[in-house]
Amino acid sequence: MSVKPIKLAKLRRSCSTCHLRTLCLPRSLDRDAMNALDALVGSRVLRERDHLYRRGQASHSLYVVRSGSVEVHIEAPSGDEQVIGFYLPGDLVGLDALADAQHSTTCVALETSNLCTLPYSRLEALCSRTPKLNRQLDSLLARELCSEQQLLLSLGRRGLEQRLAVFLLDLSRRWGTLGYSSARFRLTMTRGQIASYLGSAPESVSRAFSRLREAGVVRLQGRDIHLLDMARLVELSVAPGPFRHVQPAS
């Protein structure tokens, strides 16, 4: 909110001059470590629908979204797909391959996007020399775990409107962190992708959006969204879902 919007034109291959540096991996790294990181960072550009990696592919790098946005999904043997996350500038992608050097997910660009690449082998080497970076990585892994848990399981059940509210508030917060408006932004994904992410059908998502619009909670035209009534959104997002499952304290 008080952060200045990040000017994409000024993003560079060098971490030390990158406007994302306070939000990205090098956060809290000292000068030396950052320079070492710089030395191994590569760059990659994707157009809409280009794949960053596919399920089953051997993994060579971690990635950081520098501009644009990407979608990560898993593919069932039966062929259908399930979106498990949307990633914005500053987000780390590709952690799933840390387990066995092979991607279990597929990553696709939602729009033209720039990414930093961090080759595993060199990153690992640097990590063992730089405990702080190592801990930073662990921390990010754990954070990813938590956010998966929080979101995808807060999204776990309740009505679709409530899940949609959680989803919108999450995006809002993240755009805000990046210095953009948290009240007004563009959804870079289709209704179908949102539906998949929320475990629903495109038509249902469309209907849920319409209800929010009619209730004056959001303003919508196409993929541009304006959050008009944050309070109501928050209220929806924390709405006491049906599932009690309480157990008395010990």
Partner DNA sequence: CGTAGTCTTGAAGATAGTCAACCGGGGTGG
Partner DNA sequence: CCACCCCGGTTGACTATCTTCAAGACTACG
**DSSP character at residue 102:** B
The reply to whether 56 sits near a copy of itself by the rule CB under 8 A is no
CB of 144 to DNA, least distance (A): 26
The reply to whether 45 sits near a copy of itself by the rule CB under 8 A is no
The reply to whether 186 sits near DNA by the rule CB under 7 A is no
Figure out which of the listed residues 100, 121, 159, 173 binds a copy of itself, where binding follows CB under 8 A: 100
CB of 212 to DNA, least distance (A): 10
Spatial contact of 46 and 113, defined as CB atoms under 8 Å apart = yes
SS3 (DSSP) at 25? coil
Figure out which of the listed residues 19, 83, 209, 218 binds DNA, where binding follows CB under 7 A: 209
The reply to whether 203 sits near DNA by the rule CB under 7 A is yes
Buried b (16+ CB within 10 A) or exposed e, 173-209: ebbeebbbebeebebbbebebbbbbbebeeebbeebb
Quote the longest CA-to-CA distance of the chain: 57
Residue 222 interacting partner from DNA, a copy of itself, none (CB closer than 5 to 8 Å by kind): DNA
**Pick from 21, 17, 70: which is nearest to 44 by CA?**
70
Residue tagged 């938590």 (tokens): 146
Token pair listed for 122: 């060199």
Residue 2 interacting partner from DNA, a copy of itself, none (CB closer than 5 to 8 Å by kind): none
Residue 13 interacting partner from DNA, a copy of itself, none (CB closer than 5 to 8 Å by kind): none
Rounded CA gap, 120 and 40, in Å? 10
Those residues whose C-beta lies under 8 Å from the C-beta of residue 174, and which sit 6 or more positions away, are: 88
Residues that bind DNA in the complex, under the rule CB under 7 A = 157, 159-161, 190-192, 199-210, 220-223, 242-243, 247
Residues that bind a copy of itself in the complex, under the rule CB under 8 A = 49-51, 73-74, 76-84, 95-100, 104-105, 108, 124, 127-128, 131, 134-135, 137-139, 141-146, 148-150, 152-154, 156-157, 192-193, 195-196, 199-202, 238-248, 250
